[in-house]
Amino acid sequence: MIMMQAYLLLVVYGLQFLAGMILNLFANINSHHPGVKGNNYFIGGLSAVIWAISFKGGFALAIHVYLAILLVLGTIGLVISSIKLRSKSWIICSVASFLTTTGAFFNGMSFINYGHNFSSMIMASCWLTAVSAIVIALVTSKSTYNNTD
């Protein structure tokens, strides 16, 4: 079960990468929307997310944000499955994946509101770390299963 969750998450991470590249290369985010350059990061971020998922920022942005929400929820599910499995390596890797996915989400909100390129770089770094953590969990769990046969 947990391996299927991990593989599905990797597919969604791949789609997220593609959506992010399309957004980065071919779309412009409107600099006049709710939350832009707001004083309160969280209220501005929430306003920007609502604006984005309503497709007012364009199709590419909406898909990117929907996939980000799906990834945060999916990694929470992976953490829960890891805890139920009682596997130290899965717990460590799934928590790392959840934390870095959440970090990417918050930096995405920051990028929408403030437009700083370093937020995009942090988002990409978090994506890579989250994917790597899941791959490490899959590889180590496969080698563990192979050694017990």
For residue 149, pLDDT beyond 50:
no
Q: How confident is the model at residue 147 (pLDDT cuts 50, 70, 90)?
A: very low
Q: What distance in Å separates the CA atoms of residue 41 and residue 101, rounded to the nearest whole number? A: 18
pLDDT tens track for 53-107: 999 888 999 999 999 999 999 999 999 999 999 999 999 999 999 999 999 999 9
Judge whether 106 and 98 are in contact, CB under 8 Å. no
Q: What distance in Å separates the CA atoms of residue 62 and residue 65, rounded to the nearest whole number? A: 5
